[in-house]
Amino acid sequence: MKLSKNTALLPINREGMGSLNLVLTWDEKHLVLIDAGLPDQIDEVSEAIRAEGFSPENLSHIIITHQDWDHIGCVSGLKKLAPALKVIAHEEEAPYLDGSRVPVKLAKRLEEYDTMTEEQRKGVDPWKNMYEKSPIKVDIKVTDGQELDICGGVKFFHVPGHTPGHIAAYLQESRIIVCGDAVNIAAGEIVDFNPIYINDMEMAAKSLEKIKGLDFDGIVAYHSGYLKIGGAA
């Protein structure tokens, strides 16, 4: 789904989760994916990229908004297709991606692991195995307000709360901000993400207000899609 001349929304469906809304942006030299779905969705993600007229083998960068497994699942598979692919994430999120630290939500599940039923453990084990077997090296560690001169300019905003190093990526040429799980969209409004999934409620509330105070024409929330605010196509 084309959002602007150099930005497309890639909704990847998952039963029980609705659409996971990845974003693709490009220029003459770069092809950039924002977030990467679940580990078993490499074929779906690759096909979605091809449907927009591009090859996943030509990906130059992937921007990770945060550490949750439904946002990073296909990174390892995409790096096999595009070995030169560079991973971008906030500097505070990098240790959770490269295996130096246990991801915050996984750590909470592991604390409860011994008291879980066998069925509950089946829901945790694939998540745990992915992080242990497929660490992600972050090639470009960004900070709040940093800009990269790719795809018409990408500016990063640190919006913690859901996780410590969560970022939003503002695509300057298209005036679209990609917010991962820092926001949700409901009834045409920008609202809080579900509090049961938030690591720090106070920080998340401040991040939501920060995002609302920015100047953009469209916004993407990972689990609820795209909302046009102003002049975006």
CA 142 – CA 69 distance, rounded (Å): 20
pLDDT the model gives residue 233: 43
Encoding tokens for residue 182?
């820092």
Burial class from Cβ neighbours inside 10 Å (0-12, 13-18, 19+) for residue 225 reads middle
| Range of the structural domain that residue 124 is part of | 2-228
* Lookup: tokens for 35: 């977030």
Is 121 inside any structural domain? Answer: yes
Strand 218-221 and strand 86-90: the pairing is: unpaired
Quote the CA–CA distance of 188 and 63 in Å, as a whole number: 26
146 part of a folded domain: yes
DSSP state of 149: -
pLDDT at 44: 95
Q: Answer whether 178's CB lies under 8 Å from 136's CB.
A: no
Give the span between the Cα atoms of 164 and 59, in whole angstroms.
27
Give the 3-state secondary structure of 47-83.
HHHHHCCCCHHHCCEEECCCCCHHHHCCHHHHHHHCC
Note the pLDDT of residue 230. Answer: 65
Whether residue 43 is contained in a domain is answered as: yes
Spatial strand order in the sheet of 147-148:
147-148, 154-158, 167-171, 176-178, 218-221, 225-228
Residue 140: strand pairing partners: 88
Q: Residue 159 falls within a domain, yes or no?
A: yes
- For residue 206, the model assigns a pLDDT of 94
Q: How many domains does the chain have?
A: 1
| Residue 130, pLDDT score | 84
Q: What is the CATH number of the domain that holds 192?
A: 3.60.15.10
**How far, in Å, CA of 11 to CA of 18, rounded?**
9
233 occurs within a structural domain: no
Instruction: Tell me if 186 is assigned to some domain.
Output: yes
Whether the pTM exceeds 0.75: the reply is yes
Is residue 61 one of the residues assigned to a domain? Answer: yes
**Consecutive sets of 10 residues in the chain, 233 residues long: mean pLDDT of each?**
94 82 97 95 96 97 95 94 96 95 88 89 86 92 97 97 96 96 91 78 92 95 91 45
